[in-house]
Chains A and B, each alone.
Chain A
Amino acid sequence: MDFAFTDDQLAFRDAVRDLLGDACGPAAVRASWEGGPGYDPKLWAGLAEMGVLGILAPEGSGGLGLTELDLVLLLEETGRAALPGPVVEHVAVAVPLLAAAGGHDLVARAAAGEIVLTFADRADRVGWAAEADVLLVADGPGVRLVLPTDLTVVHALECVDRSRRDAAVGWAGGELVDGADLALALDRAALGAAAQLCGLAAHLIDVTVEYAKARRQFGVPIGSYQAVKHHLADAVLRLEHARPPVYRAAWSVARGLPSRGRDVSMAKALAGDAAALAARVALQCHGAIGYTWEYDLHLWMKRVWVLDRAWGDAAHHTALVADAVLGPRA
């Protein structure tokens, strides 16, 4: 048994954290809220250069040929930075799905950052539908590859997280991806969201701790009061018992274990709950300032709201865990 990341994996995480720390601050997140593209092409190019976009692509297609175990910490960082764009859809789902189907050309271009891929579990809500160069959408038991020229309907939806670009789409044509494993794609998406939720929670806790140290009332920092301390301790408690399950789920996906679905569902449920609590605590401890549009807190909070529900909410995944652990209902 050995439950730790390698030095290489940690160094890759640090490099991504540095890149996003420099280039994806609150201003960049806010810019994505205020129109323009739903992702930052410069940042996207930076991620391509580091190999992040093609981390799961085979080396023969210009990728790094690594696994979810190498990816999970990077996705946590994209959550911490609230990176706008279909990073989970592109990196964690679409690239390996197309690679498994032998789509070498698309995979190579996706790994290089020349095209943007998106993935959705339903046609009436596709993230970045109008911006992606290739849409992969669940269609019955399979996955349909839809190009922008195939789209007949793109009805934009307004999401509470305005960095998102969601739309209901219809198409004529497209093609079913040969042998696409939809269950695996959904597990990868849920795992990616779970990792991002951990990063979002960590950021929310960090900024709230800093605020509680600086904000003074009754002549002392509000963080010296037990009521505030205990809110934050609860948030950390939940997060630190969500991370190990998320890392274990990455292991199970990377190894293709029979317990993969159960482990991903557990990770998604716990990470969603942890991030939702962190968001509530962060807002409560900030008080009125956190309730303003101009303060950045809500950018992270609303991302949590979206990802907590994306790819199945905690109740959905808990029910799946119940089926796996308890067997069918009598």
Chain B
Amino acid sequence: MDLTETADERAFRAEARAWLEANKPELPMPPGDTAEGFGAHREWERRLFDGGWAAVSWPREYGGRDASLWEWLIFEEEYYAAGLPQRVAQNGIFLLAPTVFEFGTPEQKDRILPRMAAVEDLWCQGWSEPDAGSDLAGIKSRAVRDGAAGGWRLTGQKTWTTRGAFCTHLFGLFRTDPEAERHRGMTYFLVDLRAPGVTVRPVDKLDGDAGFAEVFLEDVFVPDADVLGGVDQGWSVAMATTGSERGLTLRSPGRFAAVVQRLIDLYRRRDSAGLVSDAALRAEVARCWMEAEAYRLATEMTVTRLARGERMGPESSLNKIFWSEMDIHLHETALGLLAPDADLEGAWLRGYQFSLAGPIYAGTNEIQRNVIAERLLGLPRR
């Protein structure tokens, strides 16, 4: 065990910090889940790519900088500490890309990854359907073989597609063998949302942003080259992506460390102005700090294992529950500090509304608790 950063890690941190300081856009930026904000975010993320910081842990040939997982954690800390926002390209970079690296052909990697990192293509997820949420294996959208054209014809409806209204591409599961039982007979497709037959209808979210979309597909042609990981293999291919989402990559500790720092600043401002009337809030702020620290330390233990070549298993469900419930706790504590005016529009109220989605997306926390009980503890499924 050695919990000090190496000289190389310190140098990487300094380099990242200096670049972000010199290049970051004017803050705060408008929300990325609005039409106006999306363009500004895309421009910023393009600058990240040009500087070589869009996907630090990727190989250089795809637009990364061959950074270690430790360096990736450091970059994330610096990124969020600089006050920078969640990335609009994140669902591609953090969810689809790991699957492409694992299952993609060389041609697919070359074609998809650099354009993804450069925010030329923006990817959204196509998992949920009106009748398939937590029960993802219940999807009905289907793909029918079009051998003459060398591809597939996709028909169906996807929903709760984050930033679907602004993205150019969708990745998701479609049923290719209607006879197969639930978890079989699905294929992982990459779909160009500009193809004929695609209709995207924006859906406003609880916080008022147009961040959701419904995606309707009517006989949409997708070439064989855009099947990821083999026909009828979609379930196991997709599980790799959901593991990334709830595990390490989507919600790095740096993100919450930055929120806690803002919370501490808020506490100090309110306390020195004599506005913290509830003494229990002080302990609550300390608990928030401890949670974010515990999440960082738990992640560092995981990264140590991954760096030694081990894989992440069902314990990724522990991470997902922890960060999503912590995120709500951090924001609730901030609103407690802001009382009685916590209900006026502001960054904490916006953040609170977004945090409430955490226990729902990326697999509800109820499903994650089942996964922990069944796959980590070995309790019976039924």
Segment with Cβ contacts to B, from A33-41, A169-177, A180-188, A245-253: A245-253
Are A326 and B1 within 8 A (Cβ)?
no
Tell me whether B311 is interfacial, beta carbon within 8 Å: no
Segment with Cβ contacts to B, from A137-145, A190-198, A226-234: A226-234
Interface of A is mostly: helix
Q: How many residues of A contact B (CB 8 A)?
A: 45
Segment with Cβ contacts to B, from A47-55, A158-166, A236-244, A300-308: A236-244
B277-326 contacts to A, CB under 8 A, are: 282-283, 285-287, 289-291, 293-295, 297-298, 300-301, 303-305, 308, 315, 318, 321-322
Tell me whether B5 is interfacial, beta carbon within 8 Å: yes
Q: What CA separation (Å) do A26 and B110 show in the bound complex? A: 61
B363-382 contacts to A, CB under 8 A, are: 366, 368-370, 372-374, 376-382
Chain B residues whose CB sits within 8 angstroms of the CB of A1 once the complex forms? 2-6, 9, 70, 300, 303-304
Q: What CA separation (Å) do A266 and B290 show in the bound complex? A: 6
Are B282 and A237 within 8 A (Cβ)?
no
A1-17 contacts to B, CB under 8 A, are: 1-6
Nearest-neighbour CB distance to chain A for B265, whole angstroms, equals: 10
Tell me whether A288 is interfacial, beta carbon within 8 Å: no
Q: How many residues of B contact A (CB 8 A)?
A: 52
Are A242 and B294 within 8 A (Cβ)?
yes
Nearest-neighbour CB distance to chain B for A260, whole angstroms, equals: 13
Chain A residues whose CB sits within 8 angstroms of the CB of B293 once the complex forms? 245, 266
Chain B residues whose CB sits within 8 angstroms of the CB of A289 once the complex forms? none
Nearest-neighbour CB distance to chain B for A313, whole angstroms, equals: 12
Tell me whether A101 is interfacial, beta carbon within 8 Å: no
Q: What CA separation (Å) do A326 and B265 show in the bound complex? A: 9
Q: What CA separation (Å) do A105 and B348 show in the bound complex? A: 61
Chain B residues whose CB sits within 8 angstroms of the CB of A232 once the complex forms? 372-373, 377, 379
Tell me whether A330 is interfacial, beta carbon within 8 Å: yes
Chain A residues whose CB sits within 8 angstroms of the CB of B376 once the complex forms? 236
Q: What CA separation (Å) do A169 and B358 show in the bound complex? A: 53
Which chain A residue lies CB-closest to B272?
A: A330
Which chain A residue lies CB-closest to B368?
A: A233
A199-230 contacts to B, CB under 8 A, are: 205, 209, 212-213, 220-221, 223-224, 226, 228-230
Q: A229-B369, A269-B290, A321-B286 are in contact. Are A247 and B1 (CB under 8 A)?
A: yes
Q: What CA separation (Å) do A270 and B381 show in the bound complex? A: 30
Chain B residues whose CB sits within 8 angstroms of the CB of A237 once the complex forms? 318, 321-322, 372
Q: A232-B379, A318-B283, A330-B272 are in contact. Are A2 and B290 (CB under 8 A)?
A: no
Chain A residues whose CB sits within 8 angstroms of the CB of B295 once the complex forms? 241
Q: What CA separation (Å) do A246 and B20 show in the bound complex? A: 34
Tell me whether A66 is interfacial, beta carbon within 8 Å: no
Which chain A residue lies CB-closest to B289?
A: A325
Are B289 and A321 within 8 A (Cβ)?
yes
Tell me whether B182 is interfacial, beta carbon within 8 Å: no
Q: What CA separation (Å) do A248 and B369 show in the bound complex? A: 27
Q: A1-B304, A69-B1, A230-B373 are in contact. Are A318 and B297 (CB under 8 A)?
A: no
Q: What CA separation (Å) do A249 and B272 show in the bound complex? A: 31
Tell me whether B268 is interfacial, beta carbon within 8 Å: yes
Chain B residues whose CB sits within 8 angstroms of the CB of A321 once the complex forms? 286, 289-290
Are A318 and B286 within 8 A (Cβ)?
yes
Q: A3-B304, A4-B1 are in contact. Are A245 and B297 (CB under 8 A)?
A: yes
Q: What CA separation (Å) do A240 and B289 show in the bound complex? A: 17
Tell me whether B40 is interfacial, beta carbon within 8 Å: no
Nearest-neighbour CB distance to chain B for A265, whole angstroms, equals: 9
Tell me whether B208 is interfacial, beta carbon within 8 Å: no
Chain B residues whose CB sits within 8 angstroms of the CB of A322 once the complex forms? 282-283, 285-286
Nearest-neighbour CB distance to chain A for B181, whole angstroms, equals: 21
Q: What CA separation (Å) do A232 and B370 show in the bound complex? A: 10
Chain B residues whose CB sits within 8 angstroms of the CB of A221 once the complex forms? 379-380
Are A223 and B282 within 8 A (Cβ)?
no
16 A-B pairs with CB atoms under 8 Å apart are: A2-B2, A5-B1, A220-B380, A224-B379, A232-B372, A232-B379, A233-B377, A237-B318, A240-B315, A241-B318, A244-B300, A244-B301, A245-B290, A248-B297, A321-B286, A330-B272
Knowing that A232-B379, A241-B318 touch, tell me 12 more A-B residue pairs with CB under 8 angstroms. Answer: A1-B2, A209-B379, A213-B378, A229-B369, A229-B379, A230-B366, A233-B377, A241-B322, A245-B297, A251-B1, A318-B287, A326-B267
